[in-house]
Structure 1
Amino acid sequence: MIAVIDAIRDLCISMGEAPLDIEVLPQSGSDRRYFRLHLKGGTCIATYGNNIPENDTFMYFSEHFREKALPVPALIGWNEERTIYLQEDLGDISLLNKLEEEGLTDNVYALFKQSLHSLAQLQVKGHEGLDYTRCLTNQEFGKQAIMADLLYFKYYFLDALRKPYDKQKLIDDFEALSTYLTHTEYKYFMFRDFQSRNILIRESGNVFFIDYQGGMRGAPQYDAASMIWQARANLPDNWKERLLNDYIDSFEQTIGQPVDRAIFKSQYNGYVLIRLLQVLGAYGFRGLFERKAQFLTSIPQALNNLRWFIDNQSLGIAVPEFRKVLDICVSDEILERFTPLTATPETPLTIRVNSFSFRKGIPTDDSGNGGGFVFDCRGILNPGRQEEFKVLTGRDKEVKDYLEQQTRMPEFLNSVFDVVDITVEDYMKRGFESLVISFGCTGGQHRSVYAADALARHLRNKYKVPVVLQHVEQEAKNWVNNKY
């Protein structure tokens, strides 16, 4: 990380100005790293990535789209190796942030509508003169790419259910659906990952797009389906229908001619299904195979979206074995399998979560039950050895960023969640009243505090169970309180 920061500083100096400060930003789902550079005249964003073809594609698309006056960040410069590039700072507020903060307000709807209007312009105007040989992967989202998404769902979600089905008939149905969706009347630039977290809202209220480097030529309906049916956004049914019509209006306006709405919507439904299944495949891979708890908790909502879709929409093509498989996925049995238990007012269980210093000893269990868990965080790199973190705790942003981005704390906690969840669910079913879970580190200041907070948050969010959180060492020093 230090070498990357030094390289970013050198790039800025070569362009005429050393940054006043370089702020490390949270890492997203990719391997790219982001930094906010504070300069005399304002800020900009530095991106570091070892995938040079990906960087090249993003920079090419960005320059092409800016020439068309489309809402993407302006490029400022890049290093000779093309591993670092600087771009306009669009801020930190995404459309998803707006939705989560404001809820289903008229303002949020207007932002979704504006985003879909700008999407239609990006798809059509961005397509003009675009060199698709510069795409990162496929030049076109055709039959092969559709089959890849369907197989992703099959291998990482469907097969993990261990339910019987006719594998050859399913593959035949995949082939038929892929062929049907490939024969679309309209093919323009396809964003490929168009969702509310990739849409940033400026203070002016204008929307801008990021993370379009996976784009290719394809059906415009795919991007609209990706946004409107994003599982995490969980838009209501009336919004989905209105936004689709808003998008078609904007698309017709941009191409300058009407579309056959029945055919357009039929193929849109096919891409909605593809996107829903691709998301389930991703959740299955991250949750069932990589054992990342946050993805497992997203599966029930994705399944509920899929259930509503197959009950209310038509694909326009007969795929009987595929339909049989979909019915399996949205059955009550499968939904119950992935839906976690939640506490009720009658649930007697209270969980006590502690952080402590091994120098002072493990906290006692006052309930008299004994047992529980004690996790040793000393195998994680210690932020306390860094001079700038010595007077901070595991609740300060700088320490949290260090633990999340430069240590194996996320992996450690995913394993902790797996183990603890088994016991919590069993205790809830059996009516147990108490469970104690403690995290220790050398001083009880950084790693254990962060881990205890993370587990308490996980348990409250997933199980809605009462959690009593105590930072033994820090509360003795009056450094932190029981709120976060």
Structure 2
Amino acid sequence: MEQILQQIGDLWSRYTSGREAASIVKLPQSGSDRMYFRVTGDNGETCIATYNDHLKENETFFAFSTGLGSVGCPVANVVAVNENGNIYLQEDFGDVSLLNLLETHGYNDYVYSLFRQSLSKLAHLQVVGGTQIDYNHCLTAREFGKQAILSDLLYFKYYFLDTLKFPYDKQALLDDFEALSTYLTHTENKHFMFRDFQSRNIMVKDDQVHFIDYQGGMLGALQYDVASLLWQARAELPDEWKNSLLDYYIDEASNHLSQPLDRYLFTAQYNGYVLIRLLQVLGAYGFRGFFQRKAQFLTSIPLALRNLKWFTGNRRMGIAVPEFDKCLQFCTSDEVMERFEPLKATEETPLVVHIHSFSYKRGIPADPSANGGGFVFDCRGIFNPGRFEEFKTQTGRDKSVRDFLEQRTSMPDYLNSVFDLVDITVSDYIKRGFSSLQVNFGCTGGQHRSVYAADALARHLKNKFGVRIELKHIEQDAKNWVNNPA
């Protein structure tokens, strides 16, 4: 990490004609392996630095940015690239996404206007921007055709459906996949397809929308991107919004085409692409959650399943796929939905989770509850911020220490494993009516790593289960009492 930060600083200095960066802060990482940083200059100017060893992906992003930007599409301006091609600086659109605004403000007129603006600029990007794209730069397939659709269906099959252990006729399902992909391939309008057009990839700055993460784009049907935005699981858009925004998009896209879209035919195939997108998302959540063990993706599965359940009950694709329908009915059954819906504590739930940070120098905290015991996690395998002079007087609650642990250590992976273990017990204890669970995090001094980990687990359990938490930082509480006795 130190080497990456140094290289980003060198690139910034080259870009600004010798000026040093005032700060380089790692941004939260999402589903990809790319790492993002916000670089701030001494005059307040900022850029987003991206580190990505997938050089082909970087080259695609550069080419698409140049082509789309040349006709006024709201995409990133890449301002500097290092010699190795694995670090680049791009325009900073801020931290506020359309999804953030939706979650903050709800379904109001302002947010609705931003969805309309996004769809209007999407139509321009797809049709007009697409004329400036060299599709030889595409990362995988040049076109989202039959093979790409089959690939998305198989992604769902392997990484989600097969994890459910549902006994289906494999050959019949593959035959249905073949028929559906053939049906969806026959579309008259193929233009630039963003591929991951959802509200978290739409940044809002000064009431204007900007698009990021379009390097997976290819030639494809107009319907796919609209389906991605309007049916995003976390957005949970009301049905009336989905319908009116789809109508608005059809009008906007027609303005850029030589012939207006046939609304009936467009909508019929749109339903098929909605299904493909919903399944692709479930496959992605399954892969990231079950196989890469990233817990935040598993929490999104219930939303995606509710989306799929509503769709299968209310929309038709115009093609018969009986074995596929049987699998979808099982995926949206109460039995499956209950597997992924996190158990929630109620006011009557007796369980209290006692979370402590402690110093190994003073020993593991005792558990006075009737059963005794509990989890003890040793944080000493995580690189210690206390070795650095600037952190010696700080704790795991200070931002600079949190940044260090999140950006320069294996703490995020460590906590994912902790969450997996503790979640099993908390869920079981809620069901069985147990009243107490103790979880302890220890490090050398009980100041940095254990404090950060205890706070993180408390947030996680509160958000996921709504369970009561008693959080105590033993070493820090003792120091505070010495310095401020009653």
TM range (shorter): over 0.9
Q: Could you report, residue by residue, the CA deviation over 1:249-296 in whole angstroms, capped at 9, with x for unpaired residues? A: 211122253211111111111111111111111111222233332222
| d(CA) in 1 for partners of 2:392, 2:249 | 53
Matches within 5 A, 1:406-417: 406-417=408-419
Instruction: State the alpha-carbon separation in 2 of the partners of residues 406 and 32 from structure 1.
Output: 15
1:184-207 Cα offsets, whole Å, 9 max, x none, are 1110000001111111111x2110
State the secondary structure of the residue aligned to 2:132.
coil
Matches within 5 A, 1:70-469: 70-202=73-205, 204-469=206-471
Conserved? CA contact 2:13–2:21, under 8 Å: no
2:484 is matched with none
Structure 2 equivalent of residue 4 of structure 1: 4
Q: In the alignment, residue 108 of structure 2 is paired with which amino acid?
A: T
Q: Which moved more, 1:19-28 or 1:77-86?
A: 19-28
SS in 1 for 2:37: strand
2:49 to 41, 46, 50: 46
What is the deviation of 1:364? 2.4
Q: Which amino acid aligns with 1:201?
A: V
Q: Counterpart of 2:351 in structure 1: which amino acid? A: L
1:21-67 per-position Cα deviation (integer Å, ceiling 9, x unaligned): 23222223222222222225522222221111111111111111111
**Counterpart-to-counterpart distance in 2, 1:128 and 1:245:** 24
User: Which whole-Å deviations, capped at 9, do the CAs of 1:301-352 have from their partners, x for residues lacking one?
Assistant: 1111100000000011111110000001011111111112111121111111
Secondary structure of the corresponding residue to residue 165 of structure 1: coil
RMSD over aligned Cα atoms: 1.6
Aligned equivalent of 1:19: 20
Deviation, 1:96, is: 1.1
- What do the CA deviations read for 1:392-422 (whole angstroms, capped 9, x no partner)? 2222233223222322222222221221122
SS at match of 1:379: coil
1:58 corresponding residue in structure 2: 61
Select between 222-231 and 34-43 the one with higher mean Cα deviation: 34-43
Q: Which amino acid aligns with 1:282?
A: A
| Alignment partners' CA distance in 1, 2:319 and 2:272 | 9
2:7 and 2:421 mapped to 1: Cα distance?
41
Moved more, 45-54 or 362-371: 362-371
Runs of 5+ consecutive residues of structure 1 not aligned to the other structure:
480-484
Asked whether the equivalents of residues 157 and 284 of structure 1 are also in contact (C-alpha less than 8 Å), the reply is yes
Q: Would the aligned equivalents of 2:380 and 2:444 in 1 still touch at CA under 8 Å?
A: yes
Equivalent pair of 2:5/2:24 in contact (CA under 8 Å): no
- Percent identical pairs in the alignment equals 64
DSSP 3-state at the match of 1:97 = helix
Q: Distance in 2 between matches of 1:466 and 1:10?
A: 48
Matched to 2:405, the amino acid is L
Matching residue's letter, 2:19: A
- The Cα of 1:145 is off from its aligned counterpart by 0.8
Tell me, yes or no, if the aligned pair for 1:5 and 1:22 is still in contact at 8 Å: no
Question: Is 1:287–1:296's contact at 8 Å kept on the other side of the alignment?
Answer: yes
State whether residues 22 and 35 of structure 1, in contact with CA within 8 Å, keep that contact through their aligned partners in structure 2.
Answer: no
Amino acid at match of 1:6: Q
Question: Cα offset for 1:129?
Answer: 3.2
* Deviation of 1:112 (Å): 1.1
TM-score (norm 1): 0.95
Query: What SS class does the counterpart of residue 440 from structure 2 fall into?
Result: strand
Q: Is the 8 A contact 2:23 2:41 kept in 1?
A: no
